């Protein structure tokens, strides 16, 4: 099948629908304004009538993407969420991600399900540590990146300095699509580089609604903006002189980034960003399967689980598996095959998701995200398909660095305790490690960051009615081992061997890397396989 003319009618329909999808994530360092931008994008696409704000900002309602009580009370994104909406006949699947490094594993899973990313920079801080790590994941996965310089309504750095930092530190050639008039903190408006059009913005009360935009001709702008206009025009001339123009092939190859300026909280420049995603972000493309072969988007249905989440619906307390459609047409009610078990999976209650809100989903195409409730046995990375068997590469868990024993505060709540731990394990909130020595009443929770333990404690108490005590252990390093190596390892001090509940893998944990190296010298033939570390995700 080399052209639309040679496709069958259903395949032609699939190709057409896939072409109008854009599935993308927003990545940033904490406090760069990611959840605010996510809300602003939905507002400008008319998916919501009024934009919310994260905790403590402008007294507005909470953002749709931060739906957990703990997220709203603390003003941080703890879990990823999905927002689906249309903009100019393009269907956008926006996957909001946690910004905090402690939840980088959740972000890594989301990046396995998208075709593009918006990299959000704080105008005053530029590239920050977590942004750099997440960009490295995008580079590794070949995800094109659009850069949005946020908070231009506040004091910040020079725009040319920020562009230079992007190029020097991460090797992306920046190609500004618009340019600010006025320095950061004295935002007068934006000049579109392609058309030369100058747009001014007027903030609405609290920034809860779309900012009013006024297009001003160049002569009037020069007269009214004075030196700010002159400086912007000179900087644009410099950009033209050095050839800072967008090369679409380099953008799709991941070596060039379109750059836009604006301010998400008052909704300045957000519509321009949305139009850029519509026009430049790539639609779903063939995805490599486990054998390295690319599966066409027009092949029979296949999808991959990239997230499992419970507690979204307090009335039902169900568990929702999020599946990225990789190929084919999904129809509610069709029977899928769970590749790992070979068992059939019903889809009668398939849903689409907007934050925590859900509605019935009848049809889905490549790029879309399907929510399947109460699908027992589905875990992150699983492949689902019809007709043609396929398996997509797994999404591996990160190597944990923090460990804590969990015990129920009330032994009379043992049943709720076990159910809660199993649920959070299945979602990937933490890894649950068990051993005969410690017993099921004292599982060890393994995490990348300390905030994961706080989420576990909060959810165990609030959702499952089983408050817990957490006792931190001194282990810091984990390796995958095997049954033959488990005996010698378990006999050494500073080492303990567990079974990971999620997949049955044997995990050896060590007090530190020096202890690990000492054991390796003593037993050079033991199996000690490194796990995927957060910094190695790239």
Highest mean pLDDT among 64-68, 323-327, 446-450: 323-327
Find, among 424, 425, 532, the residue nearest to 478 by Cα.
532
**Gap between the Cα atoms of 16 and 10, Å rounded:** 10
The 10s digit of each residue's pLDDT in 204-229 is 876 678 889 999 999 999 999 999 99
> What pLDDT digit, counting tens, does each position of 112-143 carry?
999 999 999 999 999 988 888 888 888 888 99
527 is in an annotated binding site: no
Is residue 78 scored above 50 in pLDDT?
no
CATH no. for 26-83+116-280? 3.40.50.300
Residue 100 marked ligand-binding: yes
Place of tokens 């199993």: 422
pLDDT at 251 over 80: yes
| Sequence ranges of the chain with CATH classification 2.40.30.10 | 287-385
Q: Which of 178, 189, 179 is nearest to 153 (CA)?
A: 189
What does the pLDDT average to over 173-197? 97
pLDDT at residue 73 greater than cutoff 80: no
Q: Give percent above pLDDT 90 in the chain.
A: 67
| C-alpha to C-alpha distance for 117 and 104, rounded to whole angstroms | 15
Higher-confidence position of 535 and 528: 528
pLDDT band at 254 (very low <50, low <70, confident <90, very high): very high
E strands, 274-350, where? 287-288, 294-295, 302-310, 319-327, 330-331, 336-338, 343-345
Q: Please give the pLDDT value at position 51.
A: 41
* Mean pLDDT along residues 177-202: 96
Report the C-alpha gap between 371 and 306 in whole angstroms: 11
CA distance to 184, 259, 299, per residue, from 167 (Å): 20, 12, 39
**How high is the pLDDT of residue 315?**
57
Residue 63 pLDDT > 80: no
Q: Mean pLDDT lowest for which of 140-154, 289-303, 373-387, 500-514? A: 373-387
Report d(CA 28, CA 317) in Å as an integer: 31
- Which of 518 and 355 is assigned the larger pLDDT? 518
What is the structure's pLDDT at 79? 55
Residue 2 is labelled as binding a ligand: no
Contact between 122 and 165 (Cβ < 8 Å): no
**pLDDT surpassing 70 at residue 55:** no
- Return the CATH number of 402-536, one of 3.40.50.300, 3.40.50.720, 3.30.70.3280, 3.40.50.10490: 3.30.70.3280
Location of each CATH 3.30.70.3280 domain in the chain:
402-536
Q: Is 153 annotated as a binding residue?
A: no
Banded pLDDT at 99 (limits 50, 70, 90): low
d(CA 76, CA 66): 8
pLDDT at residue 57, as a whole number: 45
In the chain, the percentage of residues whose pLDDT exceeds 70 is 88
**Confidence class for position 7, pLDDT limits 50, 70, 90:** low
Q: Report in angstroms the alpha-carbon separations of 437 from 280, 380, 480, 497.
A: 56, 29, 19, 10
Q: What are residue 495's DSSP bridge partners?
A: 510
CATH no. for 287-385: 2.40.30.10
Question: What's residue 105's pLDDT?
Answer: 80
- At 393-443, the pLDDT tens digits run 998 888 899 999 999 999 999 999 999 999 899 888 899 999 999 998 999
pTM metric for this prediction: 0.85
Coil/strand/helix, residue 536: helix
Range name among 306-310, 369-373, 445-449, 504-508 with the lowest pLDDT average: 306-310
Per-residue model confidence (pLDDT) at position 533: 59
**Residue whose tokens read 């918006």:** 118
- 73-105 in b/e burial notation, b at 16+ Cβ within 10 A? ebbbbbbbbbbbbebeebbbbbbbbbbbbbbbb
> Residue range 268-294: average pLDDT?
96
* Per-residue confidence (pLDDT) for residue 60, from 0 to 100: 44
Query: Read out DSSP for 370-387?
Result: EEEET-TT--TT-EEESS
Question: What pLDDT score does 5 carry?
Answer: 40
Distance in angstroms (rounded) separating the CA atoms of residues 3 and 6: 6
Residue 317 confidence class, pLDDT cut points 50, 70, 90: low
Average pLDDT over the chain reads: 88
Residue 97 annotated as lining a ligand binding site: yes
Residue 263 · residue 269 · CB < 8 Å:
yes
Does residue 66 surpass a pLDDT of 80? no
Dist CA 461 CA 348 (whole Å): 32
């Amino acid at each position: 099948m080399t052209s639309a003319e040679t496709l069958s009618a259903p395949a032609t329909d699939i190709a057409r629908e896939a072409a109008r999808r854009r599935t993308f994530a927003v990545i940033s360092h904490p406090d760069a304004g990611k959840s605010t931008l996510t809300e602003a994008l939905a507002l400008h696409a008319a998916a919501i009538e009024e934009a919310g704000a994260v905790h403590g900002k402008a007294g507005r309602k909470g953002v749709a993407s931060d739906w957990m009580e703990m997220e709203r009370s603390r003003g941080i994104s703890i879990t990823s969420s999905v927002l689906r909406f249309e903009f100019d006949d393009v269907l956008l699947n926006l996957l909001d991600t946690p910004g905090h490094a402690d939840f980088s594993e959740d972000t890594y899973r989301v990046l396995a399900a998208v075709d593009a990313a918006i990299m959000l920079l704080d105008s005053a801080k530029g590239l920050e540590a977590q942004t750099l790590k997440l960009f490295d994941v995008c580079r590794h996965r070949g995800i094109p990146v659009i850069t949005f310089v946020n908070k231009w309504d506040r004091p910040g750095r020079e725009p040319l300095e920020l562009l230079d930092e992007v190029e020097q530190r991460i090797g992306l050639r920046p190609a500004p699509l618009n340019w600010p008039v006025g320095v950061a903190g004295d935002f007068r408006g934006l000049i579109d580089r392609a058309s030369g059009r100058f747009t001014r913005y007027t903030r609405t009360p609290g920034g809860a609604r779309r900012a009013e935009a006024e297009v001003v001709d160049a002569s009037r702008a020069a007269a009214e903006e004075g030196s700010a206009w002159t400086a912007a025009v000179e900087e644009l001339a410099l950009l033209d002189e050095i050839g800072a123009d967008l090369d679409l092939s380099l953008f799709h190859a991941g070596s060039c980034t379109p750059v836009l300026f604006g301010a998400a909280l008052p909704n300045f420049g957000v519509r321009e960003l949305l139009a850029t995603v519509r026009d430049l972000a790539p639609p779903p493309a063939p995805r490599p399967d486990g054998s390295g072969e690319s599966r066409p988007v027009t092949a029979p249905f296949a999808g991959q689980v990239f997230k499992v989440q419970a507690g979204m619906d307090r009335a039902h307390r169900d568990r929702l598996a999020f599946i990225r459609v990789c190929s084919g047409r999904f129809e509610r009610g069709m029977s899928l095959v769970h590749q790992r078990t070979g068992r059939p999976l019903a889809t009668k209650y398939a849903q689409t998701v907007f934050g925590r809100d859900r509605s019935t989903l009848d049809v889905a195409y490549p790029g879309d995200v399907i929510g399947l409730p109460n699908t027992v046995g589905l875990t992150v990375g699983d492949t689902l398909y019809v007709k043609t068997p396929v398996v997509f590469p797994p999404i591996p868990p990160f190597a944990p660095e923090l460990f804590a024993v969990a015990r129920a505060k009330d032994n009379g709540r043992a049943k709720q305790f076990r159910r809660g731990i199993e649920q959070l394990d299945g979602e990937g909130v933490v890894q649950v490690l068990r051993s005969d020595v410690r017993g099921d009443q004292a599982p060890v929770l393994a995490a990348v960051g300390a905030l994961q333990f706080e989420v576990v404690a909060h959810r165990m108490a609030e959702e499952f009615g089983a408050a817990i005590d957490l006792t931190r252990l001194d282990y810091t390093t984990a390796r995958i081992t095997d049954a033959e190596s488990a005996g010698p390892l378990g006999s050494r001090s500073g080492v303990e061997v567990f079974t990971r509940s999620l997949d049955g893998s044997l995990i050896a944990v060590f007090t530190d890397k020096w202890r690990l190296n000492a054991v390796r010298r003593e037993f050079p033939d033991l199996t000690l396989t490194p796990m995927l570390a957060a910094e190695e995700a790239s």
